[in-house]
Amino acid sequence: MVDVVPMSLDDHDRLIATILGLSHATNITFFAALSASGEPASRLAGMSSTTFEQQLSVAEKVSSENPSLYFEIQRLNPYGVEVLDRLQAIAAHLANTVRRGDEAAFAELMRGE
């Protein structure tokens, strides 16, 4: 069953950019990074963790979807690039946190702070 949630068009676009855009981008980034690793996904899956298996399952589903539709969801939403920029900034912050060995900042990221 679907609930109808009244909202403005601007609220819809902002929320959908996060709900769809961020989840699509995260999964596209995940399977593109796997591909760039040079390791076959089947080899990685053979020695994976529960987290990896679940993420791989979702990413495989996303990768089998219509690329044109997913591109339109990203490109046509006025908040789409903002969400991608946020994802990129957080990924860079995560890399810098690990590079510095800052466990407290890492924990903050894991808590969503």
Task: Place 33 in a pLDDT band, splitting at 50, 70 and 90.
Answer: very high
Cα-only R_g, the chain = 16
The Cα 76–Cα 4 span in angstroms is: 23
pTM (2 decimals)? 0.86
Element at 70 (helix H, strand E) = helix 67-76
User: Where would I find the H helices in 5-63?
Assistant: 9-16, 23-37, 41-46, 50-63
pLDDT of 27 reads 96
* Identity of residue 105: A
pLDDT of 45 reads 79
Task: Place 41 in a pLDDT band, splitting at 50, 70 and 90.
Answer: confident
Q: Can you read off the two tokens belonging to residue 102? A: 């800052």
The Cα 100–Cα 98 span in angstroms is: 5
Q: Where are the domains of the chain?
A: 9-110
